[in-house]
Structure 1
């Protein structure tokens, strides 16, 4: 058991570095059984810290120090202090060079942090604090340096040698080795350093920037994946053009490179000029990647490219400011995806994900502000709050300032802080100064944890023709326990008349109406807005486009929700009305199940979804989204005490009712779209995505009917599909069906066809681990013994363990606690070799307070068992200790 608690790090304790590193010169000698790292750091005293020469304390972990020198003087062990985490030396002058040589072992690095090997190639992951596992350094984001890197390796095994910046020299060495030197002309912190050495092939293209510079684009992959890169390359070129057109940001090096690796803890990394990607975020072609995977590749490529400015050219002063780059860049990539595809559907997808997962994080023991006050292990704060909620905070700024004002603010931000490491306050200040506004109260979104609740009530005065909306903010308790102050909540709204028309909006005191949609800012704990010249009782359409990340409540009845589904001009709110209607109906059935009553579903939901299904004027992707009932995870999140069995039973019953009563409409939609799929070549574009999404959700409903014609259709689609989207959907409906012979045959055929494709096999694992049929834990355990599964590969863990524990709620939350024991055992095992993945798999157990007392006791018991299991990494210790606090 851990004998001492890891150190807590606080934002309030931040101090600028004592020393700066102007130049970093690195030489890597790469061998099969070790690597030698020679570092020369050109350093100086930080003038911001005053006079004197305090000790220089460098970060370093798992390093074997072979030599260290200050200037021309080689130091002996009596001249420095060496601990497992630091090297301390005493400079003798304000400016100096420090040379060191260390030996490291990337070939045994299972944590996949620092320099490690994946599928035989050398690669790096240095964010957040991985560079200290490469050499002794000031491993903090506010120490920025110009890097020159030389790599030396066996020419046959590692013909490709890459690092940041531009290539400046290369040549042969004795012993059939070779070397290459790269120079990055831009100052960067160590977390943006990257290195790759391997036997790789590349796809190359060119991009001409808005100033007519030609940039070479390369995507490096292992030879067998060379045919799966074109979609990523197309996405990269679209991203580069979009960033020029929308933000005026031009790429700044001669070459931009992406490398796909199979073993990676994250999705991708924006290292300057040399992005390293999880292969799942690069490789995509119709036969092996679903539409969702194609869209993810496009979004992640864009995200990492956009970081070149929002993260690299302007970076974080400290890790508490992580959302400065991540929240801003998630917002940028979401807007890019909205422009490339359906804007409304993109917003629906993002909000559904936020409300299901980030709201749950806000309500749990790991709840924290967008800019946290403290942490033990920074890797635990690469969270949905920092990324997704951080993006929503940026979106609210854009909503308040308008698109033109936001662009003025971003232009000033990039101009003012280019080449600097800055804070969230600097970002806000640029927005304020560019627009002549004051956002002091708004900044509470960065410092206050939790999801605000916004309750709305109405009052109509027919005689005075006024309509008032009263907003009341409230704030749930969070682990920080601080008293919350009112947020600035931008509410975009409209008012509908009895015919579904939009009413002109004029607030009391205004000279004229300001359109039919407007944004009001709720800034007080309770605040009333009164609209005038309202001739009849209106129906409000609130929080259009989900203009703020809050839990909104308004006493809509079911008929009003059906009306909004049909008439609201805001596409997001049409979907939202359908979701609210579905939630009301499902919660009614959950109560019926809890009382032991027969389940009866309100027919208004069938009528409403039937009209959506029949509406041929709607975007097919929108129809598919509206037909999708709220998931079990979301129904859990909005429950005071989640009844796993009742939620599952109610949702299953509702889906079966919809399948039976809407069968003819679903079958017509399925047949029409499947016929088009048979005669249309696969295209990774939004209209084709939309057609397949409706086709496939229709099939998933139809399969619940159990009719022979649907089984035959699913088998035909599985056998004949020319793309993974249709094949995987067909496999999923078969796996979740009672047709055991057909299911077994399809699984065997799929595995045989794709056994040599790791990413496709990940999908095969996930579809089985996610099946809600009885026996889910036994299936998952059996799959862990499959030859294609490897516990040391993060993608495999996420595909199998993550799918079971995070998506298959009815099986994971088995009343006997077997799912909890399984996950705890895995976390204990993962803690020993990959702490980051171990801590991320813990999330389902951390939400134990959401369930009944029996499950609470079982989940809490497993957390306590993990805590008592032995020496825990700081990653796992922090999550477990906060969960049990």
Structure 2
């Protein structure tokens, strides 16, 4: 088995240090697509010029999975001796400085299971070209720093494909012979080929309009399968809100006559920001109250905003190379996070974002695939569409905002667009714009782009009552990660407050200042050295420090506070995030303490002070219900596992379940009262208040189900049967699936019978079973793998079952028998030849094998070695598995 890894061909590693501009570029692209059964004829006419070198400099075009028919240079046919066709390249030499190259080739979209380039999804042609999918359409300079204007003509059968879409504005259409028709689209804005899009199908659409601040009227269309037309209104409203928000907050207006969105059922990503023609996974665009949860509504709103915001942060200004991916993604994630915060509860949104960051990005930072926000090397770029590039990248942008302040941040953004509109640029270009506009030295801050790992910050405090002086010492370390050791101190913005004995924030005046300097009781401290001490004066009473308010930097924090101080912050901190953080820290400390008790065979007991503190939060009428629900959410088993090495899988699960059960019994009356109080009274509304009520009510039901009595089971069944929205229906089903209620199996069958023809709802049916805490879950998952409605070629369905089990059900996936690992290995053996990108995402839970006990390590390594021995293993999976075994 050990020799198998050496038999696998090693794909080439690409390095940021090796970047060089292309010798040739393309200024204008004319494309003709003739869609026919079993084949698509592609003709590309490229207006090209040489940028460096001489007549002997070869032009090397990227291309794969196609049949080359002919090549013309300035109208003259080239013979086969005039060019060289490699496995993934077309090379031509002896070219003039400027020329027109015409290439004709055939492709078969119906055979494209990788869902990259042009493929067919349920009878509809669609594209996904980011990052390197365009090379599966025609031979091209498939790189992000080659920007051209495009004119696209699509010809197809009129009856089968009445809708023909591409980028830009429609400039012509008409009929052809034999029942065929054509449409011509022209995009006047230069773009890289990864932003090219094409859609052809029999689609219905919802139309609306938006008038920009400049008075330009934009037509908005959302294309879907006809049966899904009733699920489009929320996405359309979200688009219009996004357009207005971008004008109000960033001063950015839309720039074309039309904006189209298309929903696709087979899609590797969430959505794609192709210029003026966004292609979406159906999961991220379709929503009505009967089929989508509150979380789905929020996700649709956020993803629609994200892709629209890319029109400027990604399209008008794009990435010079793929190492700079966070230039567009980190910035745009920050923008969509702020949009969502403005649309709903800012406090809850921040908590949700940080929870996601800790569960996934912190884990990535501590594993074999740890990489900087701007990676310095990769084998397969698809593997770097990661939480580090996206979510940690967003935290980097948030730190710009925190360090510079809103006014200077906006000046920096404006300067960025003024300098670089229509260009492909780098993260350094963005930093320079921010630095030049604000006058703030960001040289040390640039380390956030190049150093991997999660910085660890420790806090020590000292109060001098006689001199009314409070000292706060902050120290930082940046842990070693693969390929990076001995790292430099980072520039970390640490937002702090000092909470007085009465629960109020104290004025913040540093030694040497003439007066307090804070914003609403919060001061941002610049931590730049390995250790720094900040001295606050005129502190009349000993405070409790509230550190890293709003999670002002993506770091791991050790505050040195004791249980009573955390309880004090939970009760009084004016910063909502740190109030929640106090509850999370208390919960984590308690659960991990119980893990130790289990290991020592001591009886588990839950501290009454913690129960009382949670009870007081539930009784606090000044808090909104969504925030109360967040307080009740214990740290996940995955996050708790990051706090202990080796991870005690079974101990963490048992201790966490014990705490849930103890809270349920101790606060039963509170939960019953909340369940009744938060009942929906009227038609479904997606408003912060209504969402908060449903969330707290369903949280209360989940805790009540821990009691295990028949009365609560009947309560869950009643909610399940009577629910008039998916939020309440799936919440009730989830509690039943995790229980031993007699009605459990019947509820699952009822749900399936009701929703079997709604793919996105059926995904929920698969997921709710895959994430069950019951001991028989893997048997259920294996059975569902063979279910007639499971299709391994459908990414959403694979994620709903396989990813849900492997990534979200640690106690069952990491069963000490290793059966969960073997199940994943079996899936990957079948899936990798079909869709390497999805396979690469699924394998990641195995890569953190070093975090577990010796027995599990051996079992996980065995499966990883087996994966490495797969015949024709994709570069996507090879890169991740091979790095994890180093």
TM-score range with shorter-chain normalisation?
A: over 0.9
Aligned length: 879
1:528-543 equivalences under 5 Å are 528-543=533-548
CA shift, 1:92, in A, is: 2.9
SS at match of 2:743: helix
CA shift, 1:3, in A, is: 4.1
Conservation of the 8 A alpha-carbon contact between 1:281 and 1:297 = yes
CA shift, 1:536, in A, is: 2.0
CA shift, 1:51, in A, is: 5.1
Moved more, 632-641 or 295-304: 632-641
d(CA) in 2 for partners of 1:607, 1:803: 34
2:397 corresponds to: 394
Conservation of the 8 A alpha-carbon contact between 2:566 and 2:583 = yes
Q: Which residue of 713, 736, 739 corresponds with 1:737?
A: 739
Q: Does residue 106 in structure 1 map to residue 104 in structure 2?
A: no
d(CA) in 2 for partners of 1:247, 1:791: 42
Conservation of the 8 A alpha-carbon contact between 2:402 and 2:552 = yes
1:486 corresponds to: 489
1:217-228 equivalences under 5 Å are 217-228=220-231
User: Segments of 4+ in structure 1 off by > 4 A?
Assistant: 50-53
CA shift, 1:708, in A, is: 2.8
1:681 corresponds to: 683
Q: Which residue of 713, 716, 725 corresponds with 2:715?
A: 713
SS at match of 1:227: helix
CA shift, 1:123, in A, is: 0.1
SS at match of 2:436: helix
SS at match of 1:512: coil
SS at match of 1:847: helix
Q: Which residue of 330, 333, 336 corresponds with 1:330?
A: 333
d(CA) in 1 for partners of 2:544, 2:344: 30
1:560 corresponds to: 565
2:374 corresponds to: 371
SS at match of 2:686: coil
Q: Which residue of 623, 626, 648 corresponds with 1:621?
A: 626
1:846 corresponds to: 847
1:658 corresponds to: 663
CA offset digits 1:274-301 (Å, max 9, x no partner): 0000000000000000000000000000
SS at match of 2:506: coil
Q: Which residue of 523, 537, 545 corresponds with 1:518?
A: 523
Q: Which residue of 638, 646, 667 corresponds with 1:641?
A: 646
CA offset digits 1:748-800 (Å, max 9, x no partner): 11000000000000000000000010111110010111121111100001100
Q: Which residue of 685, 692, 695 corresponds with 2:697?
A: 695
CA RMSD of the aligned region, Å?
Answer: 0.9
CA shift, 1:53, in A, is: 4.9
Unmatched tracts of structure 2, length 5 or more: none
1:724 corresponds to: 726
Moved more, 711-720 or 245-254: 711-720
d(CA) in 1 for partners of 2:682, 2:839: 44
1:227-242 equivalences under 5 Å are 227-242=230-245
d(CA) in 2 for partners of 1:30, 1:490: 54
Conservation of the 8 A alpha-carbon contact between 1:53 and 1:93 = no
d(CA) in 2 for partners of 1:670, 1:393: 40
1:13 corresponds to: 18
2:132 corresponds to: 129
2:254 corresponds to: 251
d(CA) in 2 for partners of 1:650, 1:91: 71
Conservation of the 8 A alpha-carbon contact between 1:45 and 1:53 = no
SS at match of 2:32: strand
d(CA) in 1 for partners of 2:620, 2:182: 63
Moved more, 158-167 or 633-642: 633-642
CA offset digits 1:23-62 (Å, max 9, x no partner): 000000111201110000000112xx35555111000011
CA offset digits 1:519-553 (Å, max 9, x no partner): 01000011111111111221100000000000000
CA shift, 1:90, in A, is: 1.6
Q: Which residue of 282, 293, 310 corresponds with 2:285?
A: 282
d(CA) in 2 for partners of 1:401, 1:266: 33
d(CA) in 2 for partners of 1:711, 1:869: 47
Conservation of the 8 A alpha-carbon contact between 2:287 and 2:296 = yes
1:341 corresponds to: 344
d(CA) in 2 for partners of 1:788, 1:415: 51
Q: Does residue 424 in structure 1 map to residue 466 in structure 2?
A: no
d(CA) in 2 for partners of 1:495, 1:602: 27
**TM-score (norm: length of structure 2):** 0.99
Unmatched tracts of structure 1, length 5 or more: none
1:472-511 equivalences under 5 Å are 472-511=475-514
CA offset digits 1:830-864 (Å, max 9, x no partner): 11110000010011100101110100110011101
d(CA) in 2 for partners of 1:297, 1:244: 20
Conservation of the 8 A alpha-carbon contact between 1:53 and 1:94 = no
Q: Does residue 815 in structure 1 map to residue 804 in structure 2?
A: no
d(CA) in 1 for partners of 2:246, 2:39: 41
Conservation of the 8 A alpha-carbon contact between 2:494 and 2:525 = yes
d(CA) in 2 for partners of 1:51, 1:103: 32
SS at match of 1:219: strand
Q: Does residue 471 in structure 1 map to residue 474 in structure 2?
A: yes
Conservation of the 8 A alpha-carbon contact between 2:267 and 2:280 = yes
d(CA) in 2 for partners of 1:597, 1:569: 38
d(CA) in 2 for partners of 1:376, 1:293: 34
**TM-score (norm: length of structure 1):** 0.99
d(CA) in 1 for partners of 2:782, 2:106: 39
d(CA) in 2 for partners of 1:116, 1:482: 44
1:199 corresponds to: 202
Q: Does residue 581 in structure 1 map to residue 586 in structure 2?
A: yes
CA shift, 1:884, in A, is: 0.3
d(CA) in 2 for partners of 1:846, 1:91: 48
d(CA) in 2 for partners of 1:251, 1:396: 27
Conservation of the 8 A alpha-carbon contact between 1:766 and 1:803 = yes
1:833 corresponds to: 834
Conservation of the 8 A alpha-carbon contact between 1:70 and 1:91 = no
d(CA) in 1 for partners of 2:833, 2:601: 46
2:755 corresponds to: 754
